[in-house]
Structure formats: C-alpha cells, structure tokens
Structure 1
Amino acid sequence: MKLVVVSAGLSSPSSTRLLADRLTAATLDHLDHLDADPEVIEVRELATQIAQHLVTGFPPAPLAAALDAVAAADGLIAVTPVFAASYSGLFKSFFDLIDKDALTGTPVLLGATGGTARHSLVTEHALRPLFTHLRALVVPTAVYAASQDWGEQGLARRITRAGTELARSMRPTAPDTAFDTDTAAAIAPRSLTGAITSADPAHGFKVVPFEQRLAALRAE
C-alpha cells in the first residue's frame, strides 16, 4: 500500500505541512499493514518546474516523479493554504498536471489551513469539487485548520476521524463469496417457461408451467 501526501505550504515550517503531517499520522495509526513510509511531496519545491511544464509541456525529472507518485498512490492526502477564499494557485497548478484518469477511484483526504475560521467551507466549495472532477473517492471528513484551532480538541478529533476514514478506504475489500452449488440450487427458479402464481414456503414462489395454467383456465 502506498500513501502519498501533497503539501502546498509556501513557508518552512508551515501550518499546511503541520496539518499534513498530523493527518498522515492519524491515517497510519489505523493502517497497520502499510509496508513503507508515506511519500511527501512539497509542492513549493517544484514551483519552477511546474511553471516550465505548463509552458513547455515537458516535466523535469523531479516533477515527473512526483506526478507518477500521485498517480500510483493507493491513498492521497492533499493539503493547501487558503488564498483568496480558495486553494492556492500553486496547489491547483500541480493538480492541473495530473492526468485526468490518474486519480480515478483513489481515496483522498482533503485538508486546508487559513488565518480565520471564515474560510472553513473552502474544503467543500473548492477542494471537494476539484477532486470529484478528477473522479477520486473523497472521504467524508475534510479538515480545515484556522490559526485559533491549533491545540483545540475539536481539531484533534476531526483529524482522527478523517485519518480513520482514509485508512478504511485504503484497505482492500474482501472478495465476494461464491455461492456453493446447494445454495445456487435452492435459489434457482424451477422453470424458465412458467408463471409465478403464489408464494412457496420452501423456495419463495410456486412456478406453474404455462401449459398447465392454460389448461386450468380453459376448464373454468
């Protein structure tokens, strides 16, 4: 299983990276079978290469590796600072370079940081539509952290809940259990050329061949 974390913070250290790290830890707490350390992509380190790729159409090697990592992820954590009531331009530019089918079906946990709680819905009106467009499977809980939220229990609870949801989404589902022959025989219809006329306690329905039903109607 491969967990990839995309952090679009512009400073070092940054609250965006801090939130990304806490979301990662919460996910790993409920993902015991993860074999390798998560891969963290700091988008600010790729800013010049993103601009080059947008202009030339050819990604430099480090950017190409980051895009490939996102495309190969079994789970993705994406965190952005809020600029002008939306995701940052650098964050959007990075995901503009992702192939339109690369994230199809990939579980994604969304996070954002800002200076005020007034932007708390940015995860819903900006981030969630972006990843829905990319056909990713966005987990129900997105986490927004305003400056005053750090150290509050409410933020810690949201982080734990979101990490748990992503971990559950990344776990492989059990294969469907095949019917044995006895079960298949029990639920199979008695005839494909009959008419269902009444309930049958043993099998749910009583099936009468059309010829027999027609003869009964003529005799009435």
Structure 2
Amino acid sequence: MFATEPLRIVAVSAGLSNPSSTRLLADRLAAATREQLETGQDRPVEVRVIELRDLAVDIAGHLVSGFPPAALEDALAAVTGADGLIAVTPVFTASYSGLFKSFFDLVENTALTGKPVLIAATGGTARHSLVLEHAMRPLFAYLRAVTLPTSVYAASEDWGAAGDAYADGLPVRIRRAGGELAHAVTGGGTVSGASRAPGPDDEVVPFAQQLAALRPA
C-alpha cells in the first residue's frame, strides 16, 4: 500500500518589503525541494510559504498577552507540523531579524525536535554570510532541530551571477540545499537530481526582473 498522506514543506520568510529578496529565496528553495521530492518518490507534496511581515502585529500581541490570534496559531501549527522546514531571514545588525527571532521565540522549544531545517539568509554584502553559522545554527540547535549541512546565503551580487571557478552560483547552491532537505524528509531515500549539472533552467536572470515577477498583479 502506498502512503497517501502528503509531505508538507513549510518555508518561513521574514522579509519586510514587498517584493523582497528574502521571499524570493524562500520560494526558490521551496521549489527546489518540491522538484526533488516529486522526482524521488510517489507521495504528494504540499508547499506553504509563511510571510512573517503579515503576522508582525499578531506576533507582538502574542508576546505581550500570551494568546495567539487565529492566523498566528495556524502558522505556528504549520511550522511544527511540517515534515521539512525552510527558514529564511534578512540580515539585520549582523544577525537574524527581530521579527524572525520573535516568531521562533513563540515555538515550543521541543516542537521542532528532530525536524530537518534548511536555513538561509539574504543581505546586501557577502561579508554577513557567517550569520548562518554564528546565529541561525545555534538557534535551531537550541530548538533541537536538525539543520542541514548546506545553508544558503544570497548577497545582492549573487542574484543574476553564475558563480566562478571557486564558488558555485546561487542556483547550484539552492538545488543542492533543496536536495538535502528532500533527502532528509524522505528518511534518507534516494532523491535524484540533487547534484545534476547546471542546465537551461539555470539561465541567469537579472535581479530586478526576478523581483518584478513577485509584485502583486
């Protein structure tokens, strides 16, 4: 008998602008994970992206009152009930944003135990890329989650860049991270394509054009 319960991937984006590079990165990571899951096994896949900026007032109210409004309660339930989690924050003062931290402060400290988490961040310069290691990994270690080996940092210059002889381009890193999350979600099952060579789908698209595609119709 084949399992019919869908695999649930939840991406949390703490971007403040609309559109934002943080949401763009969350979408790309979620799409890469979905692609690997749909290739490697027969279960349906559900992807949900949670925009924390839409919940900012609810998050502040919950921190003060201790009672989450319905929308925030639903978001917290989605995160704790996910099979795999993608967490993406912009960099503020060399760390994750206050909105990102406030949301995860509301997650019970055992609710993510053993859950695979792909961490990612965006910033204006590559100098802040260590935020993934000195801030985000310790946060999810405290929450007892399992952070994946590959984390993804996207500086402004990474969008629309194809990489060089010393570093993979952003599309390659996104695909590798998505493959790792898909592999972890399926319990170590085979997920094809996680390390395939760049192809036509990896065509470099200017950053302004990528952001423009996110604007509401």
Q: How high is the TM-score relative to the length of structure 1?
A: 0.77
What does residue 133 of structure 1 align with?
142
Per the alignment, in what secondary structure is the counterpart of residue 150 of structure 2?
coil
* Structure 1 segments (4+ residues) deviating >3 Å: none
Asked if residue 160 in structure 1 is aligned to residue 166 in structure 2, the reply is no
Per the alignment, in what secondary structure is the counterpart of residue 108 of structure 1?
strand
User: Any unmatched runs of 5+ in structure 1?
Assistant: 175-220
Q: Is this contact kept in 1: 2:27–2:49, CA < 8 A?
A: no
Q: Is this contact kept in 2: 1:109–1:141, CA < 8 A?
A: yes
Percentage identity across aligned positions?
66
CA distance 1:46–1:156, shift in 2 (3 Å): same
Q: Which has the higher contact order (CA 8 A, sep 6+)?
A: 2
Which of these residues, 27, 30, 40, is aligned with residue 36 of structure 2?
30
CA distance 1:169–1:85, shift in 2 (3 Å): same
Separation in 1 of the partners of 2:75 and 2:68? 10
Deviations 1:24-62 (A, max 9, x none): 111111101452431111000000000000000000000
Q: Is this contact kept in 2: 1:28–1:34, CA < 8 A?
A: no
CA-atom RMSD, angstroms? Answer: 1.1
What does residue 19 of structure 2 align with?
13
Higher alpha-carbon Rg: 1
Per the alignment, in what secondary structure is the counterpart of residue 54 of structure 2?
helix
User: Any unmatched runs of 5+ in structure 2?
Assistant: 1-6, 163-168, 190-217
Per the alignment, in what secondary structure is the counterpart of residue 82 of structure 2?
coil
Asked if residue 2 in structure 1 is aligned to residue 8 in structure 2, the reply is yes
Q: Is this contact kept in 1: 2:34–2:45, CA < 8 A?
A: no
What does residue 118 of structure 2 align with?
109
CA distance 1:36–1:79, shift in 2 (3 Å): same
Q: CA deviation at 1:156?
A: 1.1
Give the aligned residue type for 2:9.
Answer: L
Q: Is this contact kept in 1: 2:118–2:181, CA < 8 A?
A: yes
CA distance 1:56–1:137, shift in 2 (3 Å): same
Q: How high is the TM-score relative to the length of structure 2?
A: 0.78
Asked if residue 169 in structure 1 is aligned to residue 161 in structure 2, the reply is no
